[in-house]
Amino acid sequence: MIELHHVSKSYNKGKVKAVDELTLTVKPGEIFGFLGPNGAGKTTTIKMIVGLLKPDSGTIAVNGLDTQQNSLKCKSITTYVPDYPAVYERLTGLEYLNFIGDVYGVPKTERLSRIEKWLEVFELSQAVANPIQSYSHGMKQKIVLTAALLPAPRVMVLDEPMVGLDPRAAHHMKELMREHCDQGKTLFFSTHIMEVAEKLCDRIGIINKGKLIACGTMDELKKTDKSEQSLEHIFLELTEK
Ligand SMILES: Nc1ncnc2c1ncn2[C@@H]1O[C@H](COP(=O)(O)OP(=O)(O)OP(=O)(O)O)[C@@H](O)[C@H]1O
Ligand SMILES: [Mg+2]
């Protein structure tokens, strides 16, 4: 569960208001898609949820724990994938996954069976023995996503996870995200791909200029649109205003 309560964040001493009084809740078992134009405040929101940025005001709780007051506990139950594949390039894929497994305390036996399954799904079984610096962008993204799944975290926060994935890998990733949430876990992700949001998310939030301008299930969002059109149409209508 993720709860944001009147969260605001500015950059440059208040000159740029990136997130403005944002309030929303993502329930356990839910996939929440966070949409918005470039510069709307998605990454800033995500960085505050995972504890990389401190809100100027408002509160954020992960599974009922305040992220400011219980920062380590919150981090131990959350995994995060940033909007670029941030990895230790000199480690091999397997060394990196084991490092993440150690950080999150994933038992060795569970670790191996999980890693093997996902490496096969992402067609990385051969490459995993090589240093990450030799990987393509898509391969790095797949390793980072595998690492985020590895601890079976209560909460996963992903910033544009589908970027760089080929259609097959994106398809598998969507299945893994659904599987994860079917176990009662919470998943929050940003995307620019309307089709992914429409098909995968239980609920969708649209942010524009730091403010949440729409939030609900696809059916609820459609009801706000006179012609009940696609998510793309709703997005374009709402963000134009
Ligand atoms: N480090 C920074 N310093 C100053 N301003 C910033 C910084 N990071 C973001 N901003 C500003 O904050 C606002 C929100 O940016 P943010 O990166 O959160 O948007 P976003 O929705 O993730 O966009 P994108 O779709 O391009 O990833 C923008 O106006 C941006 O220019
Ligand atoms: Mg961003």
Q: What is the pLDDT of residues 37-53, one digit of tens each?
A: 999 999 999 999 999 99
**What ligand is nearest to the CA atom of residue 41?**
1
Q: Where are the domains of the chain?
A: 2-77+154-240, 86-152
Residue 94 has pLDDT above 70, yes or no: yes
Quick one: what percent of the chain has pLDDT higher than 70?
Answer: 98
The 10 Å Cβ neighbour count of residue 168 is 11
* Chain segment 156-209, per-residue pLDDT in tens: 999 999 999 999 999 999 999 999 999 999 999 999 999 999 999 999 999 999
pLDDT for position 222: 87
Instruction: Determine the average pLDDT of the residues in 123-152.
Output: 95
CA dihedral 194, 195, 198, 200 (to 10 degrees): -120
Q: Is 191 in the pocket of ligand 1 (CB under 6 A)?
A: no
Beta carbons within 8 Å of 37's beta carbon, 6+ residues apart: 208, 239
Helix (H), strand (E) at residue 34? strand 31-35
Contact 137, 61 (CB under 8 A): no
Token code pair at residue 196: 């992914």
* Pairwise CA distance, residues 239 & 241, whole Å: 5
Q: Is 208 in the pocket of ligand 1 (CB under 6 A)?
A: no
2-77+154-240 placed in CATH 3.30.1160.10: no
Residue 229 has pLDDT above 90, yes or no: no
* Chain segment 95-118, per-residue pLDDT in tens: 999 999 999 999 998 999 999 999
Residue 241 has pLDDT above 70, yes or no: no
* Chain segment 13-31, per-residue pLDDT in tens: 888 899 999 999 999 999 9
Q: Is 16 in the pocket of ligand 1 (CB under 6 A)?
A: yes
Mean pLDDT of the chain: 94
Task: Using only the alpha carbons of the chain, give its radius of gyration.
Answer: 18
Token code pair at residue 124: 């990385």
Helix/strand/coil for 69: coil
Instruction: Determine the average pLDDT of the residues in 72-94.
Output: 94
51 CA from centroid of ligand 1 (Å) = 16
